[in-house]
Amino acid sequence: MNSLIFILVISNINLIFSANQNPGHLKPLGSVGNLIHIKELHEEYPTISKLFTYYIPKSEPSLSRQVLNNDKHFSVWQTDKQLLDQVYGLADTNIQVESFKSRQRQRIPMTFEDFLQQYKKEPLIFADNIPQVLQKYLVVPKPLQCEAALEIFSSAILVINAINASPLLFNQDYDHFHCILRGNKRMILINTIKYPDIRKIVIPEKMQQHGPPVNPDRVDFDLFPAFNNVEYHLANLTSGDCLFIPNSWVFQERSMEHTISVIYNIKHQHALKIDANELKQCSDYDATFTLDQIDWSADRQPQSFKDVIMSLVNTNSEGYNKWEETFSKHLSYDLASDPETSAIFEEFYGIIDVDGNGQVTKTEVEQINGVHQHHITDILYEMVKIINKKQKTTTPKSVQNNDEQQSTEDEDSIDSQHDKTDL
């Protein structure tokens, strides 16, 4: 009998050991395993032709070393003092920053000077559209200077943070350049085209039960066996480097010191449709072409959805059906009757329903910020564009308010009402 117990104990130990024998178990993401260094270009970006005919359609990352160093204003970004001293009006610029002092991240207002004085001491991060006053200090990346590329260049996001490690991130609608102006980062990328189960973990499919999030500092291979034997693509970024990350790649960033970076978003689906012949007509690189010369108001972001969302949460309208009905009235278009718009709205609702319980609360809405905010804005904008197109070719079923009738003029003016909306 004792020998039988001994055998069972040994068997259980073996089972426990076998479940945890992967060398990456409970270790930081990408620290152990099949590690692949991303191919590098030295002091140059991918050519515009290769970016849109190879890297984007083939979903290949690329690392451009030291491509920012020769930019006219690169030195301005190297210290907080230089920024405040050399950029007139920056100190008093009002911004919104994210605070991690409590378990629930909060969005708080402050001036840029106050933020630069506090973010190294307190858990604060700035991640938002680049303030106007700073745009003239950033040259548009060479592959995006072509007119055809500018049409699908969606946004430029400035990120300023202290030493930290991000959660797993996924930019499903955009390809993007991740450029380092100051500091250094270690980037870990996983190709979800090759490993689709990883995508399902980071972004659970509709109606799929949300499990615990992956801890990138301590990846549990028992809870997330999909991470067994994946290829981790690595890039150690330093000041002046730009990493191209395709839209289908999960990534995690680890800032090794206080870091300033810029994310240049490219609309993926539009990029796939670029005419290669147009790219041949692009002019040479212009080192004086800065972000402030781009008309960011021209059909880039929709406006006025924020009021609709706040009205819903302030009246405790938490259910999906109520939200869809309210947005249908706001857009004068029955979203539920159209599979395409219904799917987009479901995607939008799924993102802001952070805990996945089917109801959106004021707390969840307050978490809409930074890159997350811009992604939601673009989803709504795409939905409006589709509705506009359908209204020009068909007569969809419109949703009427009980107290008023929507006129033909109102339906035709949907483009002017919503094409410039931001959250």
100: left (phi > 0), else alpha (psi -120 to 50), else beta? alpha
Look up residue 381 and give its two tokens.
Answer: 């904008």
Query: pLDDT digits over 86-138, tens only?
Result: 999 999 999 999 888 776 678 889 999 999 999 999 889 999 999 999 999 99
pLDDT at residue 290 in the model: 95
How far CA 31 is from CA of 171, 232, 385, in Å, comes to: 23, 9, 43
Please report which confidence band the pLDDT of residue 395 belongs to, taking 50, 70 and 90 as the band edges: very low
| pLDDT above 70: percentage of residues in the chain | 80
Q: What is the pLDDT of residue 161?
A: 93
HSE-CB at 292 with a 13 A cutoff on CA atoms is 9
3-state SS, residue 106: strand
How close are the terminal C-alpha atoms of the chain, in Å?
A: 69
How far, in Å, CA of 131 to CA of 122, rounded?
Answer: 22
Measured at the CA of 371, the angle between CA 28 and CA 137, to 5 degrees, comes to: 105
Beta-carbon-side half-sphere exposure of residue 16 (alpha carbons within 13 Å) = 6
**Radius of gyration of the CA atoms of the chain, in A:** 24
Give the pLDDT confidence score for residue 94 in this predicted structure.
94
Average pLDDT, the chain: 81
Confidence of residue 304 (pLDDT cuts 50, 70, 90): low
Average pLDDT over residues 386-408: 52
* Dist CA 128 CA 125 (whole Å): 10
Give the model's pLDDT for residue 371.
54
- Selection from 55, 57, 48 nearest residue 281 by Cα: 48
Mean pLDDT of the region 285-305: 72
Give the C-alpha distances (Å, rounded to integers) separating 237 from 253, 263, 412.
10, 14, 48
Measured distance CA(239)–CA(247) in Å, rounded: 23
What are 226-283's pLDDT values in tens digits? 888 899 999 999 999 999 999 989 999 999 899 999 999 999 989 999 988 888 878 7
Q: For residue 61, give every residue at least 6 positions away whose Cβ sits within 8 Å of its Cβ, in sequence order, or none.
A: 38, 55, 189, 233, 235, 243, 244, 245, 246, 249
Of 158, 249, 155, 267, the C-alpha closest to 203 is: 249
- Per-residue pLDDT, averaged over 416-420, amounts to 36
String of DSSP letters for 153-211: EEEEEEEEE-SEE---EE-TTEEEEEEEEESEEEEEEEETTT-HHHHHHHSPPTTPPP-
Is residue 266 within 8 A of residue 153, CB to CB? The reply is yes
413 vs 215, residue with greater confidence: 215
